[in-house]
Structure 1
Amino acid sequence: MRGLEGRVVLLTGGGSGVGRAIVERFLDEGARIVVLERDPAKAASLEAIGSGDLSVVTGDVTSYADNERAVAAAVDAFGRLDVFIGNVGLWDFSRALVDLSPTELEAGFRELFAVNVLGYLLGARAAAAALRESRGTVILTLSNASFYPQGGGVLYTATKHAGLGVVRQLAYELAPEIRVNGVAPGGMATNLSGPKSLGLDQQQIKDIPIQDYQEKYSALERVIEPADYVGTYILLASSHDALTVTGTVFDISAAGTPQRPQ
């Protein structure tokens, strides 16, 4: 029996990076998946997988109505919802406080917190009733920046520290029916982009030598691919393997204490 056989999963941001790796591996493990994806091209790429166990909803995580539509799509298509995975995020390309104008600081704060924090809260709120019924689980993608400096700039790091607080608080509020946990990957070469308000929406993390940093500064001294991170999500999404785990964020970055790249 596959590890996620019959589990119904709603994932936000499944078109690339860790999200796409989750989709592919979860399907292999027997899950049925609905993806909320904003980018039409990425949505089309997911639909091209052609699996009856995969449905795609085009929408924005910062819209409660779109999150509601995605939850309804999961329940309508598969009869229930067992797992909500909040995975959409923006990176600030390590913009330091003093390098941001006051206008950029305000606008960047609003955009990054809207996507990286509010998007998770809206998704969890929309999914809560269905997850209570199934005694399901919430999994949020965070970052090693939830624990350490130098995983981004001040705005990104603030959002990921906020995400850590969201996991801990929701684990308390939604217990005992719903478990809430987080997964904190490190950097990887994906098309993760930045906020439009900072003019970073056309830049991608894979455009910088992130793989060189991984090999030089991580404890394992190896390049990490998105698929390498998925095992922890499978553990937490299981109906039986993590029943005692809630309020926890797993740091799977293999980075140790970050150092400033030379």
Structure 2
Amino acid sequence: MGWLEGYVAAITGGANGIGLAVARRYLAEGAAGVAILDRDTSGIATLSDAFPGRVTAIAGDVRDPASHSALIGSAVENHGRLDVLVGNAGVFDFRRPLASYEAGSLGETFDEIFGINLKGYMLAALAARDALSQTGGSMIFTGSVASQYAGGGGILYTAAKHAIVGFIRELARELAPSIRVNGVGPGGTLTSLRGTAALGQQDRSLADNREQLEARLSAAVPLRFAQRPEDHCGLYVLLASRENSPAVTGEMYMSDGGVGIRPL
């Protein structure tokens, strides 16, 4: 038996990268069902084939409350309950500094990054709250190395990821004792995380120069390897499990290759 036997999870941004890896790991750990919300659900086909009848795909935008209602409704309707919400959808700013913006582009990009990376998490939490209260479930949100340190993104990405820490802490206080709320903070990871439409970078992703990215990430962290989505999944399993993390809430667990112990 796995750690999540019989659990039902809802995951935003679950069609690729870390979200897809978490969905696959949850199912391998015995989850009865996983409902996934993403703008492009084509990446879920292989997962659905591997776990027939246990995967539901919802096409939608995390800035749209109706998409979250459809996600949670699908999980409960198809699998009878909800035990875990994983907020994971995000976009990147490719380390764009404040000085490179004009007022108009700053406002548009701010709205997009904070709308997806933070407001999307809040809307997911709002939609899942009642269902998770019934099961004593948990919420897990994907932060970043940029949730703790400068340099993991540009001014907007870093600000949004820092804000997620405050969101997690406040929400954990508000939802205790019925729901635990935590986060996982991956470091630079080999994914296809995309840029913003506001900057015309919606078709640009971290995977565009994979070999160069892998070399740079491997050299940048004390553990000397570029992280892959699967490297973070154990924390998502641990934090979802009632039996194995019953007293953990309001925390952000870093999975960044040791960035915090780099020498000065």
Scaled to the shorter chain, the TM-score interval is over 0.9
Greater alpha carbon shift after TM alignment, 221-230 vs 106-115: 221-230
Is 1:254 aligned to 2:263, yes or no?
Answer: no
What letter matches 2:221 in structure 1?
A: S
Written as runs of structure 1 = structure 2, the 5 A alignment for 1:131-150 is 131-150=132-151
CA distance in 2, matches of 1:36, 1:49: 18
Question: Partner of 1:34: helix, strand, or coil?
Answer: strand
Q: Is the 8 A contact 1:194 1:201 kept in 2?
A: yes
The match for 1:24 is 24
Q: What is the CA-CA distance between 1:45 and the residue it aligns to?
A: 4.9
Root-mean-square deviation over aligned CA pairs: 1.5
Q: Is the 8 A contact 2:12 2:86 kept in 1?
A: yes
Is 1:243 aligned to 2:246, yes or no?
Answer: yes
Q: 1:34 to 1:217 in 2, by over 3 A?
A: same
What letter matches 1:6 in structure 2?
A: G
The match for 1:210 is 213
What letter matches 2:248 in structure 1?
A: V
Question: Partner of 2:259: helix, strand, or coil?
Answer: coil
TM-score between the two structures when normalised by the length of structure 1: 0.95
CA distance in 2, matches of 1:128, 1:40: 24
Question: Partner of 2:94: helix, strand, or coil?
Answer: coil
CA distance in 2, matches of 1:232, 1:216: 24
Q: Is the 8 A contact 1:135 1:177 kept in 2?
A: yes
Greater alpha carbon shift after TM alignment, 98-107 vs 142-151: 98-107
Identity of aligned residues (%): 41
CA distance in 1, matches of 2:159, 2:46: 32
Question: Partner of 1:222: helix, strand, or coil?
Answer: coil
CA distance in 1, matches of 2:90, 2:240: 20
Q: 1:98 to 1:157 in 2, by over 3 A?
A: same
Q: Is the 8 A contact 1:149 1:258 kept in 2?
A: no
CA distance in 2, matches of 1:45, 1:156: 31
1:221 equivalent among 216, 219, 224? 224
Question: Partner of 1:250: helix, strand, or coil?
Answer: strand
Greater alpha carbon shift after TM alignment, 226-235 vs 53-62: 53-62
CA distance in 1, matches of 2:188, 2:135: 33
Q: 1:55 to 1:40 in 2, by over 3 A?
A: closer
Question: Partner of 1:196: helix, strand, or coil?
Answer: coil
Q: What is the CA-CA distance between 1:23 and the residue it aligns to?
A: 1.3
Extract structure 1 runs of 4+ deviating beyond 3 A.
Answer: 43-50
Question: Partner of 1:198: helix, strand, or coil?
Answer: coil
Question: Partner of 1:197: helix, strand, or coil?
Answer: coil
The match for 1:107 is 108
Written as runs of structure 1 = structure 2, the 5 A alignment for 1:52-63 is 52-63=53-64
Structure 2: 5+ residue stretches without partners = none
Q: What is the CA-CA distance between 1:215 and the residue it aligns to?
A: 1.3
What letter matches 2:224 in structure 1?
A: E
- 1:45-96 alpha-carbon deviations (Å, 9 max, x no partner): 5444452111111111111111011111111111110100000000100000
Aligned length: 259
The match for 1:35 is 36
